[in-house]
């Protein structure tokens, strides 16, 4: 198949190729309002059914190349703080298991890569997050990832270290794999450790579960909203595209991060597979 943005995105609902239109402005305003109120904007039905089918076939072909990392981590993505009591949220460690295909391993012909590299999408995301001009993230590993989660995989409660994350739901797992979030749990003035402690102790009264619906584009501000992916059950992979942007062109991640997340530090000059 040949990639065509006009048939990949549901243009009647999301006219991303018509930035001067009233409909475009209406979508952007609604998404901005949701970000301001909830810390996330769900654009359901963003991808067309035919494009989702193509994305799914592509993701299934790439799944075997995903690097899996497992371990224990804190919600703050840092080493446990030994200066606080044992049950403090800063010291709580929880299991994680994730698999990922890095940007440099995603074929040039991949529909996910084609969508990510379209300047119209970058401009659309930039308009919604309203942080000035955005650029595709300059890191050859982290700019675009395919998240592949299988039986037993999970992602512990945590905060992101970036201002926002853009994801595209491709395929849900048979069971589990829910995206749970407590919107705006913390702010610049208060970590609300008491609420985090209650959450870790089993109080999920503040938890919102966002449906894993194929074709949904999610813009999520995870720096202040604690979130997790619950344990995957069943034989079907959970596939999500993770699209990264930055306000500075060319910025890259560290070698240590590359080794931990991707199992290597040197990028491929060209993707090692042409499957699509």
pTM across the whole model: 0.94
pLDDT by residue for the chain (276 residues), tens only, comes to: 899 999 999 999 999 999 999 999 999 999 999 999 999 999 999 999 999 999 999 999 999 999 999 999 999 988 888 889 989 999 999 999 999 999 999 999 999 999 999 999 999 999 999 999 999 999 999 999 999 999 999 999 999 988 899 999 999 999 999 999 999 999 999 999 999 999 999 999 999 999 999 999 999 999 999 999 999 999 999 999 999 999 999 998 889 889 989 999 999 998 876 554
Look at residue 268 and tell me if it is in a domain.
Answer: no
Cα(176)–Cα(155) distance, integer angstroms = 12
**Domain extent for 209:** 5-262
If one counts every other C-beta atom within 10 angstroms of the C-beta of residue 132, the result is 7
Block residue for tokens 């060319």: 250
Q: Phi, psi (5° rounding) for residue 193?
A: -60, -30
- Going from the C-alpha of 195 to that of each of 77, 184, 215, the distances in angstroms are 18, 11, 33
Compute the distance between CA of residue 1 and CA of residue 243 in angstroms, rounded to an integer.
22
CA distance linking residue 220 with residue 84, whole number of Å: 30
Contact assessment for residue 244 and residue 136, using Cβ atoms and an 8 Å cutoff: yes
* Count of domains observed in the chain: 1
Q: Is residue 115 part of a domain?
A: yes
Q: Return the closest-CA partner of residue 55 out of 172, 227, 215.
A: 215
Q: Is residue 273 part of a domain?
A: no
Supply the pLDDT for residue 38. Answer: 96
275 found inside a domain: no
The H or E element spanning position 44 is none
Where residue 189 sits, what CATH number does that domain have?
A: 2.60.120.620
- Could you say which DSSP state residue 91 is in? T
Asked if residue 72 is part of any domain, the answer here is: yes
- With contact defined as beta carbons under 8 Å apart, do 144 and 85 qualify? no
Strand order in the sheet with 217-220: 40-43, 217-220, 165-171, 238-243, 144-149, 94-101, 67-73
Assigned domain for 69 exists: yes
Residue from 169, 208, 172 nearest 37 by CA: 208
Residue 267 falls within a domain, yes or no?
A: no
Is 269 a member of any domain? Answer: no
């Amino acid at each position: 198949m040949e990639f065509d943005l006009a048939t990949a995105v549901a243009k009647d609902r999301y006219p991303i190729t018509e930035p001067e239109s009233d409909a475009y402005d209406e979508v952007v305003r609604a998404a901005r309002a949701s970000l301001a109120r909830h810390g996330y904007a769900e654009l359901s039905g963003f991808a067309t059914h035919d494009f989702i089918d193509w994305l799914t076939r592509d993701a299934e072909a790439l799944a075997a190349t995903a690097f899996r990392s497992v371990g224990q981590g804190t919600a703050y993505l840092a080493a446990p703080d030994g200066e606080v009591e044992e049950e403090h949220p800063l010291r709580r460690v929880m299991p994680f298991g994730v698999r990922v295909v890095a940007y440099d391993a995603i074929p040039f012909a991949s529909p996910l890569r084609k969508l990510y590299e379209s300047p119209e999408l970058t401009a659309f995301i930039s308009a919604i997050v309203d942080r000035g001009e955005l650029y595709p993230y300059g890191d050859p590993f982290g700019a675009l990832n395919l998240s592949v989660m299988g039986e037993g995989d999970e992602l512990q409660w945590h905060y992101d270290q970036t201002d926002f994350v853009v994801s595209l739901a491709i395929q849900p797992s048979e069971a589990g794999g829910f995206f749970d979030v407590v919107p705006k749990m913390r702010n610049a003035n208060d970590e609300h450790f008491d609420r985090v402690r209650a959450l870790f102790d089993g109080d999920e009264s503040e938890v919102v579960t966002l449906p894993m619906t194929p074709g949904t584009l999610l813009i999520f501000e995870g720096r202040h909203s604690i979130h997790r992916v619950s344990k995957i059950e069943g034989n079907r992979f959970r596939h999500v595209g993770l699209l990264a942007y930055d306000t500075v062109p060319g910025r890259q991640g560290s070698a240590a991060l590359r080794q931990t997340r991707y199992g290597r530090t040197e990028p491929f000059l060209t993707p090692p597979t042409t499957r699509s």
